[in-house]
Structure 1
């Protein structure tokens, strides 16, 4: 099994010149949390995620994360409390960033794979402890986007293979 077998070919993308406000609007309506950023020739030049966009409006140094546990649940939930901003500050900051191009916040060091990248290589990339990667754009030799493999696609493949054969995917 390789990237070609798992990739989704109908990929929503954004352009480096798209405004942050437009990308935020599209992301709010999407069933996923990021877009590959492609240039006019269809080459992947970046990736933009909810994480990238949230951080421009709420820097982590101004946020206090508080773990709160509610019985009878065993796990705690984390709540973010913004200690320094009021509504006016947020609105001014939103206006300041909304018209900027997405290239100002995108990650330009994108991890990509080729269509023949094998399953184990993709699994290693998605499970990397140093990078929090949720999706792998699949590109041709010129860097043009062919599809995307999401972490969820890999997990489904493992599940389906184990249900079918009882053995791990190879």
Structure 2
């Protein structure tokens, strides 16, 4: 089995210049958790996933450290404050980030495969150390998108192959 046997060819894509609000609409209308980001020539320049957008609204660190005092005593007089992040209105963050371009949040060095890539390499990428790889754009020699393989596509293909045996 090769990538060309596993991929779907009707792929929804976004542009690096699309606004984040447009991508939210796509996620709401389609049952995908990520989209390839392509340039004007349909060459893959990245991938944007739901998790990339969630990172806009979830602070990486919920603890604020506020220094109190004057140097050189700042380090010894630091207080921890834990604001109620869950109580913040995410709508404010959405408005603040809605017109940002996808290029600000996408993964620019997305893993891709060619149509002749074997299933072993595909399985290695999808089950490797990078848990964020859930889909693989399939590109031709010049990087033009020709298809997409999601984890469930591989699982279905293996299931169907076993059922046929």
SS at 2:48 equivalent = strand
In terms of Rg, which structure is larger?
2
What TM-score do the two structures reach when normalised by structure 2?
A: 0.83
Report the alpha carbon displacement of residue 38 of structure 1 after superposing the two structures with TM.
Answer: 0.2
1:34 maps to 34
Q: Which residue of 2 aligns with 1:70?
A: none
The count of residues paired between Structure 1 and Structure 2 equals 146
In 2, Cα distance between equivalents of 1:25 and 1:4 = 29
2:2 matches 1:2: yes
Structure 2's unaligned 5+ residue stretches are 64-82
Distance 1:60 1:145 in 2: 33
How far the C-alpha of 1:129 sits from its partner, in A, is 2.1
Is 2:33 the partner of 1:49? no
Deviation at 1:96, TM superposition (A): 1.2
Computed over aligned residues only, the root mean square deviation of the Cα atoms, in angstroms, reads 1.7
Residue matched to 1:84: 85
Match of 2:95 in 1: 95
Rounded to whole Å, the distance in 2 between the matches of 1:84 and 1:3 is: 43
Kindly report structure 1 stretches of 4+ aligned residues shifted beyond 4 Å.
none
Cα distance between partner residues in 1 of 2:144 and 2:35? 15
Residue 84 of structure 1: how far off its partner (Å): 2.0
Cα distance in 1 between the residues matched to 2:156 and 2:84 = 40
